[in-house]
Amino acid sequence: MTIESLSAADLEALAAYRPLLEEVHALIDAGDYEAGITRLQKVARASGDEALMNHLIELRVAAFPKMAEKVTPAPMYEANELLGDVEAVQARLDRDGYLFFRNVVPVALLTELRDQITCILADLGWIEGGEQRMAAKALCRPLREGQPRFFKAHDRIIKLEALHSLAHEPAIMDVMRQALGESAFPHPLSIVRLIFPDSPELATPPHQDFPNNQGTPNLTAAWMPLADCSISDGSLAVMEGSHKFGVLPLKFHLGAGNRRAVLNDDVMACRWVGADFKLGDMVLFPSLTVHKAMENHNLERMRLSVDFRYQLEGEALTEGCLQPHFNRVSWEEIYRDWQSDDLKYYWRNKRYVVAPWDASLHELPDDHVDEAYEQQLAYNIALTRRKEKRLAADDA
């Protein structure tokens, strides 16, 4: 979007702000949407000028795909060759802030879990049922974490024994012990991601897990998709070496967690790495590593994935990591229909230190309500326009 592309009416309404607009568009032309939007935002919010606010929203609509395009991940290093050499595994994790493994998680377990999750989603009308069910082809508008309809599915999925037991799977535990140490154990906070197609604005933004989880910074996540998941299907990307620069400040974002990290120059100098994941592949990263989801450009299929977190005995964790994700359903309820008792409350036999939760690490800046409002507005506009464009293309 350039100043020249504005309509005559818009230009007239914005005439008083011409110098500001030129400044903003110079930043945008140079590729820095974030700086342009920040500059315009200050004046638009302070003035309450409607034309200026509309222009800000339009810039946000245009910025989403442009900002996404900027990340082209280099290939992740495949660390399978290091397995068996614990020192080499740990040195590589310490150096790069991630480890990517091909084909280490039994695909039968992943497929079984996908089967159970897609049954629930089809039952609730999120995706097509029947023969197409496992493809997870979305039937409804994107739902976001936090919405009542989202929880209708999530409250059922969080009860699945197959979800929680996967975190303990011996093949995964073997890798986690090599990466972290012999006493590695998973947190019971097992997370499932239900990511809709065609909504790049909702892709999980760059962030560190530390502000969400806290406790030991050695806490290490294992992320794995529940089907083959290429970069364009919205797989996970990490910033290599970004775990060396401490805890970053936060801003609001519409994607999972509603927070993105504000990346400083040191972090920006790190490169993004990613992969076309195959079912069975897994990536690990400690809680200070900056990571994000790539945008799901698949126009039909949901991206379903899970992520678990592991730590060593004796290290610190916060109470929230011992609760079910979103803490809406009790463990008792979750366990009700399980076949086996072996994993119920297993963490009570582990040694760990409970650290206090530091709310300041998780706080959003004062302007987050404005930010949320503007992003939601821009997202709705972008979604409606994409839909109209597709309908028009279908008609043609």
Ligand X SMILES: O=C(O)CCC(=O)C(=O)O
Footprint of ligand X (CB under 6 A): 193, 195, 204, 209, 221, 223, 236, 256, 291, 293, 305, 307
Interactions with Fe ion, residue window 18-47 (CB under 5 A): none
Q: Out of ligand X, Fe ion, none, which partner does residue 256 contact, by CB within 5 to 8 A per kind?
A: ligand X
- Cβ 7 to ligand X shortest distance, Å: 37
Cα(100)–Cα(77) distance, rounded to whole angstroms? Answer: 6
Q: For 203-350, where are the alpha helices, taking DSSP H only?
A: 210-213, 265-268, 331-335
- Phi and psi dihedrals of 261, rounded to 5? -85, 140
Residue pointed to by tokens 């309404």: 13
Residue 281's binding partner among ligand X, Fe ion, none (Cβ under 5 to 8 angstroms by kind) is: none
Encoded one letter per residue, x for contact with Fe ion by CB under 5 A and - for no contact, window 313-342 reads ------------------------------
Instruction: Please give the Cα distance from 384 to 396 (Å, whole number).
Output: 18
Residue among 209 and 240 whose Cβ is closer to Fe ion: 209
> Cβ of residue 135: shortest distance to Fe ion, in angstroms?
26
Report in angstroms the alpha-carbon separations of 9 from 6, 14, 52, 172.
Answer: 8, 9, 13, 60
Residues from 276 through 305 that contact Fe ion (CB under 5 A)? none
Residue 154: CB minimum distance to ligand X, A: 14
The helix or strand, by DSSP H or E, that contains position 237, with its residue range, turns out to be: strand 236-239
Between 39 and 309, name the residue whose CB sits nearer to ligand X: 309
Shortest distance in whole angstroms from residue 308 CB to ligand X:
9
Looking at the Cβ atoms of 143 and 195, the one nearer to ligand X is: 195
89 vs 261, beta carbon nearer ligand X: 261
Please list every residue from 124 through 153 that binds Fe ion, using CB under 5 A. Answer: none
User: Three-class SS of residue 31?
Assistant: coil
Count Cβ atoms below 10 Å from residue 47 Cβ, excluding itself. Answer: 14
| 3-class SS of residue 191 | strand
- Cα–Cα dist 361/248, whole Å: 9
Site string for Fe ion, 97-116 (x = CB under 5 A): --------------------
Rank residues 33 and 277 by Cβ distance to ligand X and give the closer one. Answer: 277
* Residue 207 C-beta: closest distance to Fe ion, Å: 6
According to DSSP, the β-strands at 220-225 and 291-293 are unpaired
Which one of ligand X, Fe ion, none is in contact with 240 (Cβ closer than 5 to 8 A by kind)?
none
CA angle 260, 204, 72 (to 5 degrees): 95
Residue 357 tokens read as 């939760």
**3-class SS at 354?**
strand
At its nearest, how many Å lie between ligand X and the CB of residue 117? 14
Rounded to 10 degrees, the C-alpha dihedral 209/213/218/221 comes to -60
Q: Which residues in 202-231 contact Fe ion (CB under 5 A)?
A: 209
Residue (24 or 172) nearer to ligand X, CB:
172
Instruction: Output the smallest distance, CB 238 to Fe ion, in A.
Output: 10
44 is in the binding site of which of Fe ion, ligand X, none (Cβ under 5 to 8 A by kind)?
none
Q: Rounded to the nearest whole angstrom, what is the least distance from the CB of residue 50 to Fe ion in the complex?
A: 37
CA distance 305 to 204: 12
305 binds, among ligand X, Fe ion, none (CB under 5 to 8 A by kind): ligand X
Closest CB to ligand X among residues 56, 236: 236
Q: Residue 222 CB, nearest distance to ligand X (Å)? A: 8
Tell me the site size for Fe ion, rule CB under 5 A. Answer: 1
CB-nearer residue toward ligand X: 27 or 136 = 136
d(CA 370, CA 45): 8
Q: How distant, in Å, are the alpha carbons of 85, 102, 209, 281 from that of 179? A: 10, 15, 18, 16
Of these partners, ligand X, Fe ion, none, which one is at the site of residue 40 (CB under 5 to 8 Å by kind)?
Answer: none
263 binds, among Fe ion, ligand X, none (CB under 5 to 8 A by kind): none
CB 234 within 8 A of CB 295: yes
Q: Scan for tokens 């992003």, then name that residue.
A: 375
Nearest-approach distance from CB 274 to Fe ion, in angstroms: 14
Sign of CA dihedral 54, 57, 61, 66: positive
Positions that interact with Fe ion (CB under 5 A): 209
